[in-house]
């Protein structure tokens, strides 16, 4: 059986790359691992460690439109976090909603993200299915 692929990266478009990367670095706790620049030295992206991959924050294209409801494509990403860190972040940020194991937030640019301590398949005491 082939090895299933793992996450390489997620990319977020941002109106203010520095600010959004600082939010995920300083508030959420993702360590910055790289900065990439264009030939003219303008900032192309900031990479933050997320699990075995990276969260890339890049400049958004002008004219990006907001989508009020779920649509095709990524509409949420969830970060695994131990319950104590999860609770501490919840005291820093106002949650938009919550379940027993997951809290939902918006970053400064309106992107939806969550933190969760829900057990993943294969972990001790994990439910057979997530659905």
Q: pTM for this one? A: 0.80
Do residues 117 and 83 lie in contact, with contact meaning Cβ atoms separated by under 8 Å? yes
pLDDT of residue 31: 97
For the chain, the domains span 9-61+74-116
Handedness of CA 54, 60, 66, 72 (dihedral sign): negative
At 1, is the pLDDT very low, low, confident or very high (cuts 50, 70, 90)? Answer: confident
pLDDT of residue 8: 86
pLDDT of residue 123: 61
Task: Classify 23 as helix, strand or coil.
Answer: helix
Whether the predicted pLDDT of 131 surpasses 50: no
pLDDT of residue 129: 45
Residues 6+ apart with CB under 8 A from 47: 9, 32, 33, 34, 35, 36, 54, 55, 56, 57
Tens of pLDDT, residues 71-130: 556 778 899 888 888 888 889 999 988 998 899 999 999 888 999 988 878 765 544 443
Give the containing element (helix H, strand E) for 21: helix 17-22
Tens of pLDDT, residues 27-63: 999 999 999 999 999 999 999 999 889 999 998 874 4
Options 3.40.50.970, 3.40.50.280, 3.40.50.261, 3.10.180.10; which CATH number does 9-61+74-116 get?
Answer: 3.10.180.10
């Amino acid at each position: 059986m082939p090895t299933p692929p793992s996450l390489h990266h997620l990319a977020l478009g941002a109106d203010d790359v520095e600010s959004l990367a600082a939010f995920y670095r300083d508030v959420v706790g993702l360590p910055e691992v790289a900065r990439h620049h264009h030939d003219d030295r303008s900032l192309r992206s900031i990479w933050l460690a997320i699990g075995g991959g990276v969260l890339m924050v890049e400049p958004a294209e002008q004219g990006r439109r907001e989508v009020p409801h779920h649509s095709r494509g990524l509409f949420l990403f969830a970060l695994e976090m131990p319950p104590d860190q999860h609770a501490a972040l919840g005291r820093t940020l106002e949650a938009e909603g919550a379940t027993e194991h997951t809290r939902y937030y918006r970053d400064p640019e309106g992107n939806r993200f969550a933190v969760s301590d829900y057990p993943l398949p294969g972990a001790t005491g994990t439910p057979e299915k997530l659905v």
